[in-house]
Amino acid sequence: MAFLLRPQLGLSARRLATPLSSRAMSSNSLFDNLPQNIREIVETMSNDERHLGQTDTDKKAVSDWVTKASDASFASAETLPTFNTELVSRTYLVGNSLTVADVAIYGALHPIISKLTPDRYYSVPSVTRYFDHIQNNASIRSNAAAPDLVSFDFGNAPKQERKAEAPVKKKKEKKEVADTEATEVASSSAKGKAPVRKAEEAVSTEQAPANTSGKKEKKEKTKKEATSTAEGSKKGESSKATAGAGTAESGDPIPSMIDLRVGHIVDVKVHPDADSLYVEQIDLGEEGGPRTVISGLVNYVPIEQMKDRYIVAVCNLKPVTMRGIKSHAMVLCATSKEGKEGGVEPVDPPAGAKVGDRIYFEGFEDKEPLSQLNPKKKIFETIQPGFVTLETREAAWVDPVSKTIHYIRTKEGICSAPTFVGASLS
């Protein structure tokens, strides 16, 4: 095997691109303390600058992780729970693609992970998910020095329940007080008694001369007050419901009720019982690990283009079982304006978006999505006709009444379709 020259991490981009001499690669090399086989993979990958980090900040982070991987105290069963927490919202250690940091950490973890019993690796799901994703990466598997694959029994893994959160009931003290007062007034009116009033009103009443016509006027006035109070209470309740329409399912459907997030497809295969369906494992940065998602894209997107892809996921649809496998989300796709015959393609998140990033609609930034959409309310079906791609291929929701454009975006930028203009999104 030809001897490969190794660059040093932590240097400028210009120096990173320049191979070092074998003499310079002595004890000072960042890779020297890595296992021999992992060092060979890292050295090969280092010939491509992208694997060393895209920015100066990324390069430093890569260097720090490689240093950590070289520390014998890092790779131990005791450190796995802490590392598991760090990996909850990550697909890769640095940025959105594989770096030598991932390979170094993978090599450090291999002797530990390969000896874990199922109950142990089930207890650190994020570590297990990350390790399995890295070990199956083509850059590693194609290298003759790659360690043996570690097999995991995912089929018997404890099921992660994704229960919809119960809606938080807001206190309605003012409404209850108004209702109580209205009831008391109405009750008093029904019995022919004057309602209890404030001290000043009581004094004024006692000082007024008593007569039969006055009593009738008081009764009529009492009825009007009761009616007015009850109506006022209803109006107050109505205005409160309108104000909470952004978060309450009882309000009119608005796009912010839909929970969109950046997802990363870490595994994909054709459904065993349906040739037109993909079964994807999509990382959404959740502690329970990737969600299983079923997509009818086999006839539109080659499986190679689905692998390792970043997508926009609709996360609060009610789970549905498709040919025996339950789907826990939906991949948002653009359908050609010519219809499905013209093609279907997944919507892309903006460059720089991270796994689990919230995707929102401009103009609705302060609104929170519902924990789960009620299928009977047809919320998604009501909003979806306004989902389109513009002339720029950017994704947006167009208000059917005002025709206002609300871009679908993250803090990093606007989501877009790879090729389609004027497409519908679903």
**Whether the Cβ atoms of residue 63 and residue 31 lie closer than 8 Å to each other:** no
Picking from 137, 85, 83, 144, the residue whose alpha carbon sits closest to that of residue 108 is 83
pTM: 0.51
Q: Are 255 and 406 in contact (CB under 8 A)?
A: yes
Per-residue model confidence as pLDDT tens digits over 231-265:
444 444 443 333 333 444 556 889 999 999 999 99
- Amino acid identity, position 367: K
CB 185 within 8 A of CB 229: yes
Q: What is the DSSP letter of 348?
A: B
Q: pLDDT band at 161, cuts 50/70/90?
A: low
Per-residue pLDDT tens digits for 186-241: 444 444 444 444 433 433 333 444 444 444 454 555 544 444 444 444 444 443 33
Q: Which phi and psi angles does 100 have, rounded to 5°?
A: -65, -20
b/e map 304-318, b = 16+ CB within 10 Å: eebebbbbbbbbbbe
pLDDT band for position 280 (cuts 50, 70, 90): very high
pLDDT at 6: 40
Whether residue 366 is predicted with pLDDT greater than 90 in this model: the reply is no
Phi first, then psi, for residue 164 (nearest 5°) are -70, 135
Rounded Cα gap, residues 248 and 241, in angstroms:
8
Q: What is residue 329's three-state secondary structure?
A: coil
pLDDT at 178 over 70: no
Of residues 79 and 11, more confidently modeled: 79
Question: What residues contact 340, with CB distance under 8 A and at least 6 apart?
Answer: 300
The predicted pLDDT at position 40 comes to 85
Please give the radius of gyration of the chain, using alpha carbons only, rounded to the nearest integer. 31
Contact by Cβ (8 Å): 232, 178: yes
For residue 274, pLDDT over 80 is answered with yes
Tokens of residue 350, six digits: 């903006």
Spell out the alpha helix ranges (H) of 191-263. Answer: 199-207, 212-243
Residues in the chain: 426
Cβ neighbour number for residue 137 with a 10 Å cutoff: 16
Greater pLDDT, 75 or 12? 75
For 347, 391, 395, the CA distances from 421, given in Å and listed in that order, are 12, 5, 9
